[in-house]
C-alpha cells in the first residue's frame, strides 16, 4: 500500500520535500495555513545573490508538485501519534499519515519590540520585509508622503545578536539582504545616499562578497556602529543616533527612511506542535535535530522529521538542500 507523508508548511522547504517524496512514489499531503504557497519567499521581490525574481523560484517549485495533495488555508493545530501512525488535526478535520515533516519556517522578529528604533511609531521607519513589498509594488522605495527619499539608513542586526530581546544568535541572511537592498535603492534612485550601520558584515555565501563590492562601487557607505535611538523630525524624516565604533565617535544623522533588518525568529505555533510530538527545542527556540552534523533532519520522535528554517535561520539554497536530504531520510524510514 502507498504510504502517506504529511508535510506541514508550504514554503520552499515544504514544497521541495513534497516534490521529492512525490517523485519517490509516496502519497503526499501538504498543509499550508495561508492561502498561497511559497512562504516568506513569496513576499520577496528579487533574491540575493543573483537578483533573480523570487516569484520564479516559487512558481517552479509549485508547478513541479505532481500528485501532491495541497491544502492551502489549512492550519495544522495538533499532531498526535496513534498506533504507530500520526493523526493531523487541521481546520477541524483529521488526516492520517505514516510520517510527518515539519517545515513550518520562521517568523520575522517583531520590530516594535525595539521600541527605541521607532517601528510602528514613526511612519518612515520600515523593515526589510516592508521594503521588499515596496520593490514588488512600485519598483523603488518611497516615503510615507510619497516623496522620493534622498537619504536612507539600513540598520543591521535588529532582533538578532541581541541579548536584550532574547535573540542572541545571528540570523545569517540579513547582512547580505541589506547589501542587496542597498544596491537596489542605488539602481532605482541613483542620487539617494545610502548608509549601512553594521556590527560585523557576515558575507558567508557564494556571490555575497561580490555583492558587497558592488555596493561599495555604487557608493553605499558602510559604518560600523549600532543604532541607539530614532526620533521623528520635520517632514516625517527620522533622526538617528549611533556610535561609529571604528572611529569611537557618537554620530547623529537625519534620513528620509530607516530600514530595520529584522531577524528570523522561531515560529510561535511550531512550539505547540513540537510539544504535541515531544520534540526538543534548541537554545534559540528552533526545533532541535538528533545530531546537528550527521542527522540534521531526524528528531527524537520516530517518523517525525524537520526541515528548513524551523530548524534555524537559513537561505533558500540551504533550505532546499535540507529538504532534499529530508525526503531521502523519510524514504529510508518508510522503506525500512
Ligand X SMILES: Cc1cc2nc3c(=O)[nH]c(=O)nc-3n(C[C@H](O)[C@H](O)[C@H](O)COP(=O)(O)OP(=O)(O)OC[C@H]3O[C@@H](n4cnc5c(N)ncnc54)[C@H](O)[C@@H]3O)c2cc1C
Which residues are near ligand X by CB under 6 A?
A: 8-14, 31-34, 39-41, 44, 47-48, 75-76, 103-106, 108, 128-129, 173, 177, 264, 267, 269, 308-309, 314-317, 319
Q: Which one of ligand SF4, ligand X, none interacts with residue 129, CB within 5 to 8 A by kind?
A: ligand X
* Site for ligand SF4 contains 174 (CB under 6 A): yes
How many CA atoms lie within 13 Å of 36's alpha carbon, on the beta-carbon side?
9
* Site for ligand SF4 contains 180 (CB under 6 A): no
Q: Which residue has the cell 518611497?
A: 142
Nearer residue to ligand X within complex by CB, 40 or 237? 40
Nearer residue to ligand X within complex by CB, 232 or 284? 284
Alpha helices, DSSP H, located in 161-248: 174-188, 208-217
Q: How far is the CB of 194 from ligand SF4 (least distance, A)?
A: 16
- The rounded distance, in Å, linking the Cα atoms of 33 and 27 is 20
- The rounded distance, in Å, linking the Cα atoms of 227 and 153 is 10
E strands, the chain, are 4-8, 27-32, 46-47, 52-53, 69-72, 76-82, 85-90, 93-97, 99-102, 106-108, 125-127, 151-158, 193-198, 221-224, 227-232, 238-244, 249-255, 257-262, 264-266, 304-306
**Among residues 3, 114, 156, 180, which is the contact residue for ligand SF4, using CB under 6 A?**
156
* Site for ligand SF4 contains 127 (CB under 6 A): no
* Site for ligand SF4 contains 128 (CB under 6 A): no
- The rounded distance, in Å, linking the Cα atoms of 23 and 67 is 9
Of residues 19 through 38, those in contact with ligand SF4 by CB under 6 A are none
Q: How far is the CB of 165 from ligand SF4 (least distance, A)?
A: 12
Which chain residues interact with ligand SF4 by CB under 6 A? 156-157, 160-161, 170-172, 174-175, 199-200, 202, 261, 263
Amino acid at each position: 500500500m502507498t504510504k502517506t507523508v504529511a508535510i506541514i508548511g508550504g514554503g520552499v522547504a515544504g514544497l521541495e520535500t513534497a516534490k521529492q517524496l512525490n517523485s519517490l512514489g509516496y502519497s503526499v499531503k501538504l498543509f499550508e495555513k495561508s492561502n498561497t504557497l511559497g512562504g516568506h519567499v513569496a513576499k520577496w521581490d528579487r533574491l540575493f545573490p543573483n537578483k533573480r525574481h523570487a516569484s520564479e523560484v516559487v512558481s517552479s517549485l509549485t508547478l513541479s508538485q505532481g500528485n501532491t495533495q495541497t491544502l492551502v488555508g489549512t492550519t495544522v493545530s495538533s499532531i498526535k501519534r496513534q498506533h504507530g501512525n500520526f493523526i493531523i488535526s487541521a481546520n477541524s478535520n483529521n488526516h492520517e499519515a505514516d510520517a510527518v515533516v515539519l517545515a513550518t519556517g520562521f517568523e520575522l522578529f517583531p520590530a516594535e519590540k525595539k521600541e527605541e528604533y521607532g517601528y510602528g511609531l514613526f511612519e518612515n521607519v520600515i523593515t526589510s520585509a516592508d521594503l521588499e513589498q515596496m520593490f514588488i509594488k512600485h519598483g523603488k522605495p518611497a516615503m510615507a508622503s510619497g516623496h522620493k527619499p534622498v537619504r536612507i539608513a539600513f540598520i543591521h542586526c535588529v532582533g538578532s545578536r541581541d541579548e536584550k530581546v532574547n535573540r542572541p544568535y545571528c540570523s545569517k541572511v540579513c547582512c547580505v539582504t541589506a547589501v542587496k537592498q542597498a544596491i537596489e535603492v542605488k539602481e532605482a534612485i541613483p542620487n539617494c545616499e545610502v548608509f549601512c550601520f553594521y556590527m560585523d558584515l557576515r558575507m558567508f555565501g557564494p556571490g555575497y562578497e561580490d555583492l558587497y563590492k558592488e555596493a561599495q562601487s555604487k557608493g553605499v557607505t558602510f559604518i560600523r556602529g549600532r543604532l541607539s535611538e530614532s526620533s521623528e523630525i520635520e517632514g516625517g524624516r527620522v533622526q538617528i543616533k549611533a556610535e561609529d565604533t571604528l572611529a569611537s565617535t557618537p554620530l547623529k544623522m537625519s534620513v528620509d527612511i530607516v530600514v530595520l533588518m529584522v531577524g528570523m525568529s522561531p515560529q510561535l505555533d511550531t512550539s505547540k506542535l513540537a510539544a504535541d510530538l515531544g520534540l526538543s527545542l534548541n537554545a534559540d527556540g528552533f526545533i532541535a535535530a538528533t545530531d546537528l552534523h550527521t542527522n540534521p533532519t531526524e528528531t527524537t520522535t520516530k517518523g517525525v522529521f524537520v526541515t528548513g528554517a524551523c530548524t534555524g535561520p537559513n537561505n533558500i539554497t540551504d533550505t532546499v538542500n535540507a529538504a532534499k536530504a529530508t525526503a531521502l531520510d523519510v524514504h529510508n524510514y518508510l522503506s525500512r
